A and B are shown apart, each in its own frame.
Chain A
Amino acid sequence: MRKRVVVTGLGAVAPNGVGVQAYREALKAGKSGISWHEELRDLNFACQIGGVPPIDEDYILGILPEADYHKMSEAMIYAVLAAVECAKNSGATVDPKNYQTSPVDWNTGAIMGCGIGGMDTVFQELTPVMAEAKKQEPGRGTIPMGADIVPKVMNSSVSVAIGRFLGLGGQTSSNSSACNTGTEAIFEAWKHIQMGFADSMYAGGAEGTHYGIWAGFDAMRDVLCSRFNESPEKGSQPMGAGACGFVPSGGAGVLRLETIDSAQKRGAKIICELVSAFCNSGGQRDGGTMTFPNPDGVVRCIRRVIEDSGIEPSQISLINGHLTSTGADPREIASWLKALELPPEKFPRIQSTKSMIGHSLGAAGALECVAAVDEIANGYVHPSINCDEVHPQIAKIANSIPRQARQAQLDYVIKASFGFGDVNGCLLFKRWDGK
């Protein structure tokens, strides 16, 4: 028999708001976190806009010890800030300035993913030293880079950073599945709890904003948005007629999942329930490629989640789509229509959080789940901005796209993410009604 898994904490570091409350206010207000970046212009990027969380060194040092700050990459810092917030609002006692004094929590672990981690460290600390290595004395070529490079660039850097601050004694690991990373992490954590390996897990994703992460996408024709350098806030237009590529961004989102028993035993406030979850792949066949999803894989993933939950598609109150502001958006809508088997007039509301925060890659699914869970908990639907004119291929569901924030009781919210490599993830959250 399946265990019931609930969400008891949220944490967010987003381009339009740092902290869940600021994030919520920005989402409700339809506030974009996208801005123009001189550095990208200087590097002759075609896309010179992006979403960067509005924090600086002083803000970080107000929360974390300086020595740890120096030992972390940008993505690790975002992950820790979001996890500390998540832990605190789940009722855990956390003192990030003196984290070493807290005991190990043997019943809690973390699955925290990252898409392309540590690129800031590679560019700023590793590459310059290697460029000078030939001029060093024998045996000292690598010495000037210092001793902290490996923990900053290893794939598990974001999860172990969380583990360090929260004293996690359960499995602490990082997943990576491109833009599906954050959603997949939540699925993995849910699965881990289902299997009885832990009572509680922190799950989510983080991504830095170094240009090194974005450069490869910029090199791909029409993948990033290059037509809105003059009006950055208009750049991310999921489902919009003018969508011309995604806007890169970064940040972190973290959810605390735990068994209902664990939450009740702790006296934690339950935010909502994660009813079902699934991940699959389209096998890179039948239209699926390294960069494009096999529509059949997408449909199967969504259907599996709905079937496992035992609900009817008509019970879904809101879809938080992957919807990146690329040419793939109409295909994604077609997959939702096919998976739900609902006529356009009965199609649920569908939104794209990326319209405000851009595409934060490994953090995207997690930040969007934080938004979805917060919408359920606080009874609102955030708008999909920059979508006044809908893409002609999806005109039939145009009325399902919220252009303004509105109050609404959301019983079930479904969230999907899709990533390079033809990988898919889908989660179904349910409003907590006390039972």
Chain B
Amino acid sequence: MAFKRKEATIEATDLNTITPEEAEKRIIAGVKKYATNEGNWSKADANTPFLGHIIGMGIESSNLADITMSIERQFLTKKTKRVPVSEGSAEFKLEDGELGKLRILDGQDATAATPGLSIKMLMDLGHMPKNDAYLSKVVSFAYITSIGEGWRTNDALKKLVARIEKLSGTEKDEAKANLKALCDQARAYEALIADSAAFATSRQKIGQNDQAAYDSLRQELTVLEDKIKGVSATNDAERLAALRAEEAEVRTRLKMSAQKLTVSGTVAREASQRTPVIQAKIEEIRALLRQSLQEAERALA
């Protein structure tokens, strides 16, 4: 019959008995089967993004759920007792209980974009002890995403410069116009990421906007809940059904807004904190961009 696929037996380890470095090694090994960029995967460290075709492991976004599952399968935790978030709530959280399988709840992995950030997530959720020495080597989510933007811009610049060399006539003129716009974008990015305060302000503004949108929806929901309470007493079934439908819609929007806020809020909080590791990564991408910009200027001349 069909060739047999080897099945790896995973022995789950108690997160309280291993070092973050050991956990990182296990996470990287566990996601190998999803990494299409074997070159990047084999060099992966705490700060290699799972996604990203240039600097990441080449994992496709559809496989992010698999990565979380892979992490769940490899570790045991004491946080296994399910308790409702609040009385009567359908949502729950995990508290200390018997040692058992690790569970990452919906949304908890939203910013776990690298092996290091996955470990930070496990520490933040209390599944393993906090280790500041390890975390000081982890590039924050805010900078993983921002430095990724830099890599993409740099890649686009290089590709466009290479393309221009092969073009002529109108096509070349159009490509040059595109390159000029891309250079402006790259310079703006380079200037922003170089200026710690300006970068933090820009990210905090996005976070504040998302927070305001979330608060507004929350308020809308409170008003609706009050209306529902009022109508419930009147026996107006039609009006009640309409309000309930509206409430369901707002709840959905609120959930989506909360997810967005988790990401932008994290970025806003972390944007002003630059560790030496982050600074080194920033300098690396700035140097690359400056070099690509010089090449682009030559192509535009």
Q: Do A and B come from one complex?
A: yes
Enumerate chain A interface residues (CB-CB to B < 8 A): 37, 39-40, 50, 52, 55-57, 60, 65-68, 70, 74, 97-98, 100, 120, 139, 143-144, 146-148, 208-211, 250
Task: Kindly state whether residue B170 has any CB partner on chain A within 8 Å.
Answer: no
Task: Kindly state whether residue B53 has any CB partner on chain A within 8 Å.
Answer: yes
- 26 example contacts (A-B, Cβ-Cβ < 8 A) are as follows A39-B1, A52-B1, A52-B2, A52-B3, A55-B3, A56-B3, A57-B4, A57-B5, A66-B32, A66-B33, A66-B38, A67-B36, A68-B36, A97-B38, A100-B37, A100-B53, A100-B58, A143-B65, A146-B66, A147-B63, A147-B66, A148-B63, A208-B2, A210-B2, A211-B1, A250-B2
Residues of A within 8 A of B35 (CB): 67
Number of interface residues of B (CB under 8 A): 24
Are A65 and B2 touching (Cβ within 8 A)?
A: no
State A60–B58 Cα separation when bound (angstroms): 20
Closest residue of chain A to B73 (Cβ to Cβ) is A144
Closest residue of chain B to A209 (Cβ to Cβ) is B2
Residues of A within 8 A of B66 (CB): 146-148
Residues of B within 8 A of A208 (CB): 2
Residues of A within 8 A of B4 (CB): 56-57
Nearest 3 A-B pairs (CB), nearest first?
A147-B62, A67-B36, A70-B33
State A67–B3 Cα separation when bound (angstroms): 17
Task: Kindly state whether residue B132 has any CB partner on chain A within 8 Å.
Answer: no
A100-B36 in contact given A56-B3, A146-B66, A147-B62 (Cβ < 8 Å): yes
Residues of A within 8 A of B1 (CB): 37, 39-40, 50, 52, 209-211
Residues of B within 8 A of A250 (CB): 2
State A60–B4 Cα separation when bound (angstroms): 11
State A210–B1 Cα separation when bound (angstroms): 6
Partner of A74, one of B3, B63, B69: B3
Further contacts, 7 of them, CB under 8 A, given A66-B33, A67-B59, A148-B66: A52-B2, A56-B4, A57-B4, A60-B3, A67-B36, A67-B38, A147-B62
Closest residue of chain B to A38 (Cβ to Cβ) is B1
Residues of B within 8 A of A52 (CB): 1-3
B45-69 interface (Cβ within 8 A of A): 53, 58-59, 62-66, 69
Closest residue of chain A to B39 (Cβ to Cβ) is A98
Are A146 and B65 touching (Cβ within 8 A)?
A: yes
The minimal Cβ–Cβ distance linking A34 to chain B, given in whole angstroms, is 13
State A98–B202 Cα separation when bound (angstroms): 38
The minimal Cβ–Cβ distance linking A111 to chain B, given in whole angstroms, is 24
State A212–B59 Cα separation when bound (angstroms): 31
Is chain B's interface secondary structure helix, strand, loop, or mixed overall? loop
The minimal Cβ–Cβ distance linking B221 to chain A, given in whole angstroms, is 21
Residues of A within 8 A of B106 (CB): 139
Are B69 and A144 touching (Cβ within 8 A)?
A: yes
State A391–B210 Cα separation when bound (angstroms): 79
The minimal Cβ–Cβ distance linking A73 to chain B, given in whole angstroms, is 9
Partner of B2, one of A67, A70, A74, A139: A74
Are A65 and B36 touching (Cβ within 8 A)?
A: yes
Residues of B within 8 A of A139 (CB): 106
Are A143 and B38 touching (Cβ within 8 A)?
A: no
Residues of A within 8 A of B298 (CB): none
State A55–B32 Cα separation when bound (angstroms): 23
State A67–B58 Cα separation when bound (angstroms): 9
The minimal Cβ–Cβ distance linking B75 to chain A, given in whole angstroms, is 16
Are B3 and A57 touching (Cβ within 8 A)?
A: yes
Partner of B34, one of A56, A70, A97: A70
Residues of B within 8 A of A147 (CB): 62-66
Are B3 and A65 touching (Cβ within 8 A)?
A: no
State A250–B58 Cα separation when bound (angstroms): 31
Residues of B within 8 A of A67 (CB): 32-36, 38, 58-59
Task: Kindly state whether residue B6 has any CB partner on chain A within 8 Å.
Answer: yes
Residues of B within 8 A of A143 (CB): 65, 69
Residues of A within 8 A of B6 (CB): 57
B1-58 interface (Cβ within 8 A of A): 1-6, 32-39, 53, 58
State A210–B5 Cα separation when bound (angstroms): 13
Closest residue of chain A to B34 (Cβ to Cβ) is A67
Are B38 and A65 touching (Cβ within 8 A)?
A: yes
State A68–B37 Cα separation when bound (angstroms): 10
Contact with A along B113-130 (1 / 0, CB 8 A): 000000000000000000
Residues of A within 8 A of B69 (CB): 143-144, 146
Residues of B within 8 A of A146 (CB): 63, 65-66, 69
Residues of B within 8 A of A39 (CB): 1
